[in-house]
Homo-oligomer: A and B are copies of this chain.
């Protein structure tokens, strides 16, 4: 039985006042009922009256009015430099899962790899978000943020001083990878880095280089290049560098992301470089396609969904006004060996 009048297409906005009138109570009571704050404040009788009126009229608390009165909205802003990464889609899924229907996820996207600046941040804050999630930030951005309100950083190694964080132990996987290559007999490797000045990429590179060195794998400075996170760009850069690398005895290439690695694989096929016989290739992220490529891509697996889930969970805690028991969490990474490294 639909009792809503909808004469000509657009339904009129139903307000708390309309509900109040129908239920024969004040708007204050409507607000209490609609927000479930009735405990010891509203009579059973009025509760059911209001509930009935609410469902009859199809009333929904107006987000804007509510936000203004409360001083905060139900929006959670997720700032991220690269949503084109499939890895990131899983992080979002994880966030959504723990945030549930109480909060709306607003995605702040800029151009690939770029972070918003002071003015953009102010505009975002003008939405009075309930909380902020920042993925793979750099220190400069966090300085500008001058953190107002609940804030959780994702994948922000070394930036623990700024806010609560959920990190990935990429260094562990990077070391495993170096060990794996050393065990396979490699003694000279190259590294394809990401150009974005994001902390996680520094950690990946440094951990790999350090462990490689310790294991007798040399990575000369001219064997380290960087490109944007793009298959084509990586392919091009590799094409340019390979002749040189080959001459200097490079037998393995490690890439900052699987996306870079796909570019290397692609170009290697074009150039007739045998993978893994002539060249071993590995990446970070373990994107879904890495299991599918031919050969499969050896990669450092990062738990994307758990990352999003945990970050959402921590943020919920902060938004509820809690003191986090464990403000800094680190999730494991581990190497997945596939055909691209023999």
Contact = CB atoms under 8 A, between A and B. Distances in A.
A2 to B, nearest CB: 11
Contact of A126 (B60, B86, B262): B60
Contact of A122 (B58, B65, B68, B89): B58
Given A123-B60, A124-B104, A126-B60, A84 B89 contact: yes
A61 B109 contact: no
A95 B148 CA distance: 28
B126 A63 contact: yes
Contacts of A85: 89
A250 to B, nearest CB: 21
Given A6-B146, A68-B68, A107-B107, A126 B61 contact: yes
A294 B291 contact: no
Interface residues of A, number: 59
Contacts of A259: 288
A300 to B, nearest CB: 18
A124 B289 CA distance: 34
Interface in A267-302: 269, 288-289, 291-295
A148 B83 CA distance: 29
A101 interface: yes
A332 to B, nearest CB: 21
Contact of A109 (B9, B105, B122, B293): B105
Interface in A103-147: 104-110, 112, 120, 122-128, 146-147
A319 interface: no
Given A6-B146, A109-B96, A63 B11 contact: no
A176 B125 CA distance: 49
Nearest to A70: B64
A19 interface: no
Nearest to A106: B106
Contacts of A265: 292, 294
Contacts of A293: 289, 292-294
Nearest to A82: B89
B106 A120 contact: no
Given A92-B109, A93-B84, A292-B263, A127 B60 contact: no
Contacts of A291: 231, 266
A51 to B, nearest CB: 15
A44 interface: no
A330 interface: no
A62 interface: yes
A251 interface: no
Contacts of A292: 231, 262-263, 265-266, 289, 293
Closest 5 CB pairs of A and B: A294-B294, A84-B89, A63-B126, A262-B292, A266-B292
Given A9-B146, A101-B123, A106-B107, 12 more contacts: A61-B126, A64-B73, A64-B126, A83-B92, A88-B89, A92-B109, A101-B120, A104-B108, A106-B106, A107-B107, A266-B292, A293-B293
9 contacts: A10-B148, A11-B146, A60-B125, A62-B128, A64-B67, A64-B128, A86-B89, A93-B112, A96-B109
